[in-house]
Amino acid sequence: MLDGISSTAAADIARAEGLLGQAFAISPDTALAHFVKGQVLRAQHRYAEAVLEYETAIALYRNSAGAFANLGQWKLFTGSCAEAIPLVEQAIRLSPRDSRLGRWYLLIGTTHLLQSRTDEAIAWLEKARTANSAHPRVRRTLAAAYGLKGETERAAAELAQARRLSGAPIRTQASLA
């Protein structure tokens, strides 16, 4: 539903909304229900509403690493870059051995990159690569950061690895010319 892996996204969302209605009828102040509602809203591209649900989930349960990370991601994607990093860092503090660490490091690195803090971006993106070396998006983002820093050989190596991992060509400015 969230990652494009369902061939019946509309039906899945409708079912999720029905189940959420049941969950809220039973227990309207459950952090997990608000977190899941945030996920459903996110799948519907209703990001500002999803942010409110993640904030509610955190207010109800301050130890929800997933809610902190998702709130950070959607704060970034809705234009609140300054708020994103502390939220994701809180997720990391709450769950330092989480299987999603690579994604969280990528999010922090991407946020730094968008704020033109290339050195900080590279540090976090290298951590993301270490945590999840098979993720082409990590490699592509790291290639961009190296390229912005002028480290073209490292950028080219990361881009080549991203191509190998994704199995599809990655278009560059040179290939578009």
User: What kind of architecture, by CATH, is found in domain 99-169?
Assistant: Alpha Horseshoe (1.25)
pTM of the entire structure?
0.86
On whether the CB atoms of residues 70 and 54 are closer than 8 A, the answer is yes
Q: Output the pLDDT for position 167.
A: 84
For 79-136, write each residue's pLDDT tens digit: 999 999 999 999 999 999 999 999 999 999 999 999 999 999 999 999 999 999 999 9
Tell me the C-alpha distance between 15 and 23, whole Å.
12
Domain with CATH 1.25.40.10 in the chain: 10-98, 99-169
Q: Output the pLDDT for position 30.
A: 95
| Domain 10-98 top-level CATH class | mainly alpha
On whether the CB atoms of residues 106 and 76 are closer than 8 A, the answer is no
Q: Output the pLDDT for position 8.
A: 83
**Residue-wise DSSP of 13-41:** HHHHHHHHHHHHHH-TT-HHHHHHHHHHH
For 32-80, write each residue's pLDDT tens digit: 999 999 999 999 999 999 999 999 999 999 999 999 999 999 999 999 9
